[in-house]
Amino acid sequence: MSKKILKILLIFLFGALGGVWAQAYLLPYLMGSSFFDGEIVINQTQTITVQENVALTQAIERVEKTIVGVRTKTASGETLEGTGLAVTSDGLIVTLAELVPQGADFYFYVDGQLPAWQILKRDTKSNLALLKVDQSGLRTAGFANLEKTDLGERVFLLGTMRLATTTKMFTDEGIVSYFSQDAVVTNIRESKAAGSPLFNISGEVVGISMVGAQGRVSAIPAPVIRDFIGF
């Protein structure tokens, strides 16, 4: 009987010693010393934060060289100001037909220069005009796929304004409130946005801006522009 009791005691003793050894040496080896430092790591991940203003700034830097300033003196003496978009590196520019009416004098500001120009075609129905300036090496941007455009998608416009003897660039941002094959409507309000390209945050052209009542900005969609140009 005493041998049985001794055997049981030995089993408990070796079991206790094994538990102490496992806790002291085996668990730290399997789980890392941080387990006993009060830090348990399970499926460790890395968090990366991209600030929205950084994404916008980077997009503007990619497309700002595609912008062309437009200034028009009409036959009645009215001055029109707006923006155009370079669509080919050899000088094809698209803008609003309302900014380049027949019988007016035009000035196109391309990277601080005033190149010679030629109006290729106007379409008052679509409110688009295509012209060619005598300048090469222009920066261009791709067109957005309207089918992949989402309601609430973040967009921004980039335009120019003439101040004294210099042309300054400005931007405004908002979201897509509504869109169809005929128009992209935004929540942006900007009275100087006529002809300003509307971009998504990837720097793709969503449309060409028009200014409605109370400065509300909508845009001629990219597919309409591409059809007009012949792309």
Taking the domains of the chain in order of start, what are their residue ranges?
54-62+142-229, 64-133
Specify the CATH architecture of the domain 64-133: Beta Barrel (2.40)
Question: What SS3 class is residue 5?
Answer: helix
| Cα 174 to Cα 189: distance, rounded to the nearest angstrom | 9
Q: Do domains 54-62+142-229 and 64-133 have the same CATH topology?
A: yes
> 55 near 201, Cβ under 8 Å?
yes
Local confidence pLDDT in tens for the 231 residues of the chain: 555 555 555 555 555 555 555 555 554 554 554 444 544 444 444 444 445 678 899 999 999 999 999 999 998 999 999 999 999 999 999 999 999 999 999 999 998 889 999 999 999 999 999 999 999 999 999 999 999 999 999 999 999 987 766 778 999 999 999 999 999 999 999 999 999 999 999 999 999 999 998 999 999 999 999 999 998
Written as one letter, the residue type at 69 is: G
Q: Which CATH number fits domain 54-62+142-229: 1.10.490.10, 2.40.10.10, 1.10.390.10, 1.10.287.610?
A: 2.40.10.10
Angle at 227 between CA 225 and CA 230, to 5 degrees: 105
> What dihedral angle (degrees, nearest 10) is formed by the CA atoms of 172, 177, 180, 185?
-40
The pair phi, psi for residue 22, each rounded to 5°, is -65, -40
